[in-house]
């Protein structure tokens, strides 16, 4: 993770929240778990299957994702999509993220 192992828990905490937002944003277009994992990695979000699949199940249980099975391929795949409630949550989290980013930037600017 980082050069200083003491930082790792803090970095992990930040990343955990961003993965939720990233999943909600990416799943506005339906996708399946492994494809989502590839998309996350392509966009710079490090995530493993042991983190992603429980997160998808939790978000679905909370009503932020919907799912359906696609059995047309050789192997059935469960496709997820951001629900209406999930879209509202993603919009709220995105707005909050932008405000926090601006606040952190202002703190950094004050240092210089």
Helix 8-26 and helix 49-61: axis angle, to 10°?
A: 50
pTM for the predicted model, two decimal places: 0.87
pLDDT tens per residue across span 39-57: 999 999 989 999 999 999 9
Region 77-93: what's the mean pLDDT? 98
pLDDT tens per residue across span 2-41: 568 899 899 888 888 899 999 999 999 999 999 999 999 9
According to the CATH classification, is domain 10-111 in 2.60.410.10? Answer: no
Displacement of CA 72 from its chain's centroid (Å): 27
């Amino acid at each position: 993770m980082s050069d200083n192992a003491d930082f790792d828990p803090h970095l992990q905490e930040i990343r955990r929240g961003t993965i939720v937002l990233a999943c909600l944003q990416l799943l506005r277009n339906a996708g399946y778990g492994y494809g989502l994992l590839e998309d996350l990695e392509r966009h710079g979000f490090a995530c493993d299957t042991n983190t992603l699949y429980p997160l998808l199940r939790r978000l679905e249980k909370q009503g932020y994702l919907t799912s359906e099975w696609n059995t047309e391929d050789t192997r059935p795949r469960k496709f997820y999509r951001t629900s209406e409630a999930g879209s509202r949550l993603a919009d709220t989290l995105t707005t909050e993220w932008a405000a926090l980013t601006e606040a952190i930037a202002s703190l950094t600017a004050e240092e210089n």
